[in-house]
Structure 1
Amino acid sequence: MSKQDLGLPRRLALVVEPLPGEALLSWLNIMSAEHGGLTRPQTAQITGVLAGEGSLYPLAHGSALYHPHAAKVARIRAATALTESQVAEMFWHRYRGTVLHPLGSRWVDETTRHTLLKWWIDPNALRLCPRCADISGGRWLLAWQLPWVFVCPTHRCYLVEACPTCGRAFTAHRTNPVLDAPHRTPLPNSTQWGQCSAPARELPTVPVQDNELLALQQRLWDALHAPAEQRPEPFGLFQDLWAMACLALFTAHPEHLDGADAVVREAFADYCRAHDGTAGRRFTSAELRGLPVLVHAAVIRTAARIVFGEDPLAAADAVAGLSRDPHSTAIVALRRAWHSSPLRFATRENTARIETVMDVAKYSGPGLAPSLKRRSPTAASATVLCER
């Protein structure tokens, strides 16, 4: 019985092996180029990512990129002769137990773009290290699409999320650094469209001088790629960082970024000014899902000082002023955001590491905040000084 009788695709004569950590869409780009410029959906079909001539919807919006189901893995291996691990590592499923909920009954739902958005991940977002992309021929790592990766440790530069010439954001489904062809972009002050020919693989980069941020990025990178037996701890770590990054986004100020690179401080200052209001900072759901890369760096850097500090409550108090006014408009705005999409899951799986912070910050309505004096000696001292 032939492979075709079994519903498996034909073995391809030309197969480019995926890079370690490469995204599935990136691999489809290079395979498309090597097969004479096929479209990405056509390449997905001949490589077994999509079954037969069916709908292309799963590639853009559905389950094709998320879970390496046994039938899908069998199709891809039949067409490409890749190993099972090479196939599986290109799917979002590889981050289960780190930034996605550990494998179990809840993972059944983690098969679409919508469900990944619940965990602060936009699978259409894309950031690039132009130097890495140039060396690899325009390919990118799946980790670059995560909000937790904002620096390339190899080249010590910030990742780039948009073309600096035209301002168009990179997206996983529309950006193809392999071809690096000119892209359509709206002309300024016009309803017309033009062409931008700035090559993504030659874009300028901003060097990272902040050693604290470099060390943090390496720590997060190691946690993202932790062995399976260590994954319960990384998942809790990222949940704590996410909750505290939210706190930083709603309450922190540029002065809390001491030691950070000027570009990060300036980007965060501009973002704060653009969203500050009389009732706290206001963000749309789309803005909360897709913060600029330098703003991500700012809030996660601030969150790390809280989560990894000796006294998380005291560190959070220094940022959010919990002892001065646990009922402030900033905290109330944060609490409201924690109860709605897309930040609703940020407070679902926190660990004991930030329990004292969450006791105060999450229940900050009038009459609801627990006394800081019962939570931390350091915070209690801060409260006494404040009262004086």
Structure 2
Amino acid sequence: MLLPDPLPRALTPLPGEGLPGLLLRLGHRLDVAPFQLIQRTGIHDSDAYIPGRLLLTLDARLAVFAHATRLTTTEAAQLTLDSYASCFPPVAESLKTKPGVAATRAPVDAWVLSHYTRYCPRCLAGNGTLIQQRHGGPWKAEWRLPVIFTCPEHDTFLHHLCPACARPAHAFHIGGSKLMPLIRLPGLHPAQCRNPHNDALPNRLSFCDARLDTPTLSAGRPPVSPPLAGLQERIRHQLSPAGNPAESRRYFTGLRVLTSILAATWPLGREFALAAAPESVDQDLAERRHQAAIRPPGARGRVPFTTWDHPPRSALATATLLHAADQILALNQTELRHALHMMLRSAPTMDSGRWGRSWHHLAHYGAPALNREITGALRKHALAGLRGPAVNLHKLHYRIQHIPQWLPEHWLPHLRPGVPLAPLLRALHHRAAAVRLIQMASGMTLEDAARYLGIPDTWYTDPHHLRLPTNPFFYDEQTTQLAGTLHLLGHTSDYHRRRQHLASWTLPDADWDTIWQQAIITGQYGRPKAVRHLHQVASEFVWTRITGSERSLAPALPGLTSGCRTTRHMWLPLTCPTPTQRLHGFYRALRELLKRYAHHLAVEAGHRA
């Protein structure tokens, strides 16, 4: 790689300084915009967007940047959060890339503050040395970690708002940079607020420019209490090289998940925060509810700071929730179980989107014992009493044995009129609607209704792989309309009896041999490949047609490997034939033969297909 020319002057990074801080101070010294430094030092070459990933790592540009800024690669690497990846899971998750997604566009975890930063005014004011008198003190990298809420040098809580514009420091705005606002603007002191004014006239630059390095900003703030100072010291130890990375990952994951639970169930866990400042959490949650209330109906995309998985913006509120979570982690097993059941007795269900990435982190980084206790408590309270809104049962003209586990397609317009659904959401609606129809007619709990339909327990008890929503009441108005018209659809088959009778049924070898040979003759097609795979697909087709259940629940042929269950290329033409291809002539013939076979099998069992 061709190295750029070194900058005419350089600055030695201050202790703990992050990349945005060095760019601001270096730009101030050279009287150029931070954006010009980004391009001249080779760390990013896009004119449109400066990604938050630069807070985490310089990737392959590390050596180029170090050469241009006259730093060693070690000094340059210390400007990012990359060193925390081994002990702080949100950084490790943010560094992951997905196939087909550019690394610069990969999302940054909510527990890395990429949309704003906290700060200490006294640190920004500098330590009195000549270089810091001229260009200010450091914007520290660790201030982007929400678990850092105090400044140990000045014994104060960190700030996050500008006192003049009342917006978060270095707030991200659409179309801008996640490193800092107005990144193309030169001439500002590194400690000046760069937030643009919301009411600025078109084509006219207007920004706050208030100073954030005024020590009087900390006047009137509550002192850091000994319990919170001790917690911050323990957190810093877990983040330091002296900590055990595996232990640190479990610890921070426990803090994160319990913080989400506390936020979701507050004030039930308030007793664990009495040594801190529980009123700050009250204020933070009130602000979150306000943000959710003013969100336009039907708006898409993530709602920042309205999910429980997002840490509070306020350092004091964050410290309070982390202190409460730390207190819970210190409980013995009996006390922990009691605390979790106390908080989760009225918690939202596991599939609520407002839990964010809580369960992902718990599964991948959490302590197994904590995982078991939280999952057990959530399951108990999510399933207990889940009977749904009351329904006038005497008006329903169907019986629960007439409800298939997988609803026929011509029933679905009642559930989602004119609303196209993604395949996953479509499957969730299928399953949830069937469960609700059982509940409406019988008053069963979700657990009992799902078992009645033959749905495995793991589909609604495993929070990491939910295939049935534990809150099946969405689209309940449409489900009720469907319940009132089922008698007009002419479905009186006893699907429950069929599911029991054919619980382990597979298409017999002799019957299959006859069917597929007839299909070859009728469809004018040579001998098919992977006959055993096709036998499994045919067995699933017959079984699902008779029992009214979905394919993934169908029994497997004896001795069949799991790989033979994923024969999508055979299942789709069999269920949705396309007559324009010669190959599908065979599948059309096979489909008709299997439909007749299913009908005769149902009649023989005393049912109507």
TM-score norm. by structure 2 comes to 0.49
- Asked whether the 8 Å contact 2:88–2:249 carries over to 1, the reply is yes
Change (3 A) 1:140 1:239: same
- Asked whether the 8 Å contact 2:284–2:312 carries over to 1, the reply is no
Q: CA deviation at 1:46?
A: 2.2
Structure of larger gyration radius: 2
Q: Which residue of 2 aligns with 1:61?
A: 51
- Asked whether the 8 Å contact 2:157–2:224 carries over to 1, the reply is no
Change (3 A) 1:345 1:7: same
Change (3 A) 1:80 1:96: same
Distance 1:88 1:43 in 2: 17
1:87 maps to amino acid: A
Distance 1:354 1:211 in 2: 27
SS in 2 for 1:304: helix
SS in 1 for 2:65: helix
Describe the superposition over 1:272-298 as per-residue Cα deviations: whole angstroms up to 9, x where unpaired.
456679xxxx9x731133522222122
1:251-262 matches, cutoff 5 A: 251-253=265-267, 254-260=270-276
1:185 lines up with 2:203 in the alignment: no
Distance 1:182 1:57 in 2: 18
Q: CA deviation at 1:256?
A: 3.5
Q: CA deviation at 1:355?
A: 3.4
Q: CA deviation at 1:39?
A: 1.2
Distance 2:95 2:155 in 1: 37
**Alignment match of 1:286 (pick from 304, 313, 316):** 304
**Alignment match of 1:131 (pick from 122, 128, 134):** 122
Q: CA deviation at 1:196?
A: 4.4
Change (3 A) 1:271 1:319: farther
Q: Which residue of 2 aligns with 1:366?
A: 383
- Asked whether the 8 Å contact 2:41–2:65 carries over to 1, the reply is yes
Distance 1:63 1:182 in 2: 20
Q: Which residue of 1 aligns with 2:439?
A: none
Distance 1:179 1:208 in 2: 24
Change (3 A) 1:240 1:33: same
Q: CA deviation at 1:346?
A: 3.5
Change (3 A) 1:251 1:62: closer
Describe the superposition over 1:27-73 as per-residue Cα deviations: whole angstroms up to 9, x where unpaired.
1111111112x1111011222323xxx31346x22644433324x12
Q: Which residue of 1 aligns with 2:162?
A: 163
2:231 maps to amino acid: L
User: Is there any run of 5+ residues in structure 2 with no aligned partner, and where?
Assistant: 127-131, 171-178, 183-187, 296-301, 385-446, 448-609
- Asked whether the 8 Å contact 1:66–1:111 carries over to 2, the reply is no
Change (3 A) 1:337 1:303: farther
**Alignment match of 2:67 (pick from 47, 54, 78):** 78
Distance 1:105 1:344 in 2: 16
Change (3 A) 1:292 1:78: closer
Q: Which residue of 2 aligns with 1:200?
A: 212
Q: Which residue of 1 aligns with 2:278?
A: 265
1:173 lines up with 2:164 in the alignment: no
User: Is there any run of 5+ residues in structure 1 with no aligned partner, and where?
Assistant: 1-5, 369-388
- Asked whether the 8 Å contact 2:196–2:208 carries over to 1, the reply is yes
Q: Which residue of 1 aligns with 2:83?
A: 94
Q: Which residue of 1 aligns with 2:20?
A: 25
Q: Which residue of 2 aligns with 1:48?
A: 42
1:40 maps to amino acid: P
Distance 2:265 2:374 in 1: 14
Q: Which residue of 2 aligns with 1:357?
A: 373
Aligned-residue RMSD, C-alpha = 3.5
SS in 1 for 2:3: coil
2:143 maps to amino acid: W
SS in 2 for 1:266: helix
Question: Which protein, 1 or 2, shows the higher relative CO under an 8 Å CA cutoff with sep ≥ 6?
Answer: 1
2:140 maps to amino acid: L
1:204 maps to amino acid: L
Aligned residues: 337
Distance 1:27 1:44 in 2: 11
1:35 lines up with 2:30 in the alignment: yes
